[in-house]
Amino acid sequence: MTTLSMLLMAISVASIFAESSIYFREQFEDGDAWKSRWVESKHKSDYGKFVLTAGKFYGDVEKDKGLQTSQDARFYSASSRFESVSNKDQPLVIQFTVKHEQNIDCGGGYIKLFPADLNQEEMHGDSTYIMMFGPDICGPGTKKVHVIFNYRGKNHLINKDIRCKDDEYTHLYTLIVNPDNTYEVKLDNKKVESGSLEEDWDFLPPKKIKDPDAEKPDDWDEKENIDDPEDIKPEDWDVAENIPDPDAKKPDDWDDEMDGEWEPPMVTNPDYKGEWKPKQIDNPAYKGKWVHPEIDNPDYTADPEIYQYASIGVIGLDLWQVKSGTIFDNFLITNDPKLAEEVGNETWGATKDPEKKMKDSQEEEERKKREAEETNKKEAKEDEDEDEEDEEGEEEETDSKHKDEL
């Protein structure tokens, strides 16, 4: 076992026995007091406003309160500070819930983590962040979970496509970054993606590159098949594709002086065989596809600390929405994946079913209301038609009596 492998194993074992810590937790359970913990950016004067609400349907009117975007076609920028922490030698877990109850068509539902020295009142879209995580939707083509890390001053997007939820219900998003340079993405407390930070992001140059000194030999033949040199085209092969119709006759009333010289119409030649091509045989000189040899990349250096950030201290909502209405809640930053799973079950897990039940009940009431309105309209139309028929009958009766009198 190499020294590096032993070091990684020691780090992994140490992380298992590390004490659980909660670095940040926000559930908005104390009314407007959230305004003292969250700072809205003043970088622009027209940022959209967040409001505290459980929305139009919920599982628990108090527990489901969160920050909701309230104005259409706006940028939003607000953040909350916590004591600076480093994730060195331990997992980092980011978790929160998102509810697109407006049936979002285009807008972000992600969070950003920032260094502790961020000026919150000046936070904006170009502010340097540590990582960005969460759903992003824009039309039918973009429904993804962003997982973006800042590494050595550059933002790196994950190379995999993770699909997000696009319905109107609350969903739980969890990102786990481990000290062995692995990660896991969970949606509604179920793993949807995992892997290696080095393999699933382009943080480092490739380990191998094509040998710049290697070239395919001039005589390297990559053709699997060739024309059979002994296959000769038959002498009677070349015939016209179309010929004059042998059964056509010049009409009796055809006048060559008036109509010009008569020519029979063309028909497909039954003897036409198409373009002749020699049959194919195996190429005796075939050597297979040439593969460019690779060598170790001199620019590659392994980094066992890709996962690590020295100072994490601010969580922010920095996003754009065309149609507002998204609710953010149940923020949690910890070093304990098991704790995050338990918190997820206690929060989102406890209210998701009642939330759906309330939404279903509202939709049923709306359905009954629509049906009642349609029934009332139909009955009103029938009454109107009956009144018109009665009026027509009375008019006919009056006309008949008038005629009798005359």
Q: Give the separation between CA 377 and CA 303, rounded to whole angstroms.
A: 72
Answer whether residue 106 shows pLDDT above 50.
Answer: yes
| Nearest by Cα to 111 from 196, 199, 188, 172 | 172
Per the annotation, does 403 bind a ligand? no
Strand, coil or helix: 257 = helix
Per the annotation, does 323 bind a ligand? no
For residues 363-378, average pLDDT? 90
Measured in whole angstroms, how far is the alpha carbon of residue 355 from the centre of its chain? Answer: 24
Question: Is the Cβ–Cβ distance between 6 and 12 less than 8 Å?
Answer: no
What digits encode the pLDDT tens for the residues 327-342? 999 999 999 999 999 9
| Nearest by Cα to 80 from 118, 109, 44 | 118
Answer whether residue 402 shows pLDDT above 70.
Answer: no
Answer whether residue 399 shows pLDDT above 80.
Answer: no
- Average pLDDT over the chain, rounded to an integer: 91
| Nearest by Cα to 123 from 310, 318, 321, 328 | 318
Lowest-confidence region among 8-12, 266-270, 378-382: 8-12
Q: Give the separation between CA 296 and CA 275, rounded to whole angstroms.
A: 51
Strand, coil or helix: 207 = coil
Percent of the chain with pLDDT over 70: 92
| Nearest by Cα to 146 from 307, 319, 310 | 319
- Inter-axis angle of helices 337-346 and 348-405, to 10 degrees? 30
| Nearest by Cα to 66 from 344, 355, 326 | 326
**Class of the 3-206+304-353 domain?**
mainly beta
Close Cβ partners of 99 (under 8 Å, ≥ 6 residues apart) = 55, 66, 168, 169, 170, 171, 326, 327, 329
- Neighbouring C-beta atoms of residue 355, cutoff 10 Å: 22
**Which helix (DSSP H) or strand (DSSP E) does residue 117 occupy?**
none
What pLDDT is stored for residue 86 in this prediction? 97
For 228-355, list the strands marked E by DSSP. Answer: 242-244, 266-268, 280-282, 294-296, 312-321, 326-334
Per the annotation, does 318 bind a ligand? yes
Instruction: State the DSSP code for 298.
Output: T
What digits encode the pLDDT tens for the residues 43-54? 999 999 999 999
What pLDDT is stored for residue 238 in this prediction? 85
> Hey, what are 78's tokens?
């607000």
What digits encode the pLDDT tens for the residues 3-51? 444 444 444 444 444 589 999 999 999 999 999 999 999 999 999 999 9
The residue that leads in pLDDT, 291 or 384, is 291
The residue that leads in pLDDT, 395 or 48, is 48
Exposure string (b/e) for 120-136, b if CB count within 10 Å is 16 or more?
beebeeebebbbbbbbb
Residue spans per domain, the chain: 3-206+304-353
| Nearest by Cα to 175 from 293, 91, 289 | 91
Residue 261 vs residues 253, 265, 329: alpha-carbon distances, Å:
13, 13, 89
What pLDDT is stored for residue 259 in this prediction? 84
Q: Give the separation between CA 171 and CA 147, rounded to whole angstroms.
A: 17
Find where tokens 């897990």 sit.
349
Q: Give the separation between CA 228 and CA 230, rounded to whole angstroms.
A: 5
| Nearest by Cα to 323 from 96, 57, 109, 64 | 109
In terms of Cβ atoms closer than 10 Å to its own Cβ (0-12, 13-18, 19+), residue 81 is middle
Rg (CA), the chain: 37
For residues 96-122, average pLDDT? 96
What pLDDT is stored for residue 101 in this prediction? 95
| Nearest by Cα to 331 from 158, 175, 190 | 175
Q: Give the separation between CA 242 and CA 268, rounded to whole angstroms.
A: 4
Question: Is the Cβ–Cβ distance between 324 and 71 less than 8 Å?
Answer: yes
Angle at 190 between CA 196 and CA 61, to 5 degrees: 130
Per the annotation, does 252 bind a ligand? no
Per the annotation, does 110 bind a ligand? yes
| Nearest by Cα to 131 from 165, 173, 74 | 173
In terms of Cβ atoms closer than 10 Å to its own Cβ (0-12, 13-18, 19+), residue 335 is buried
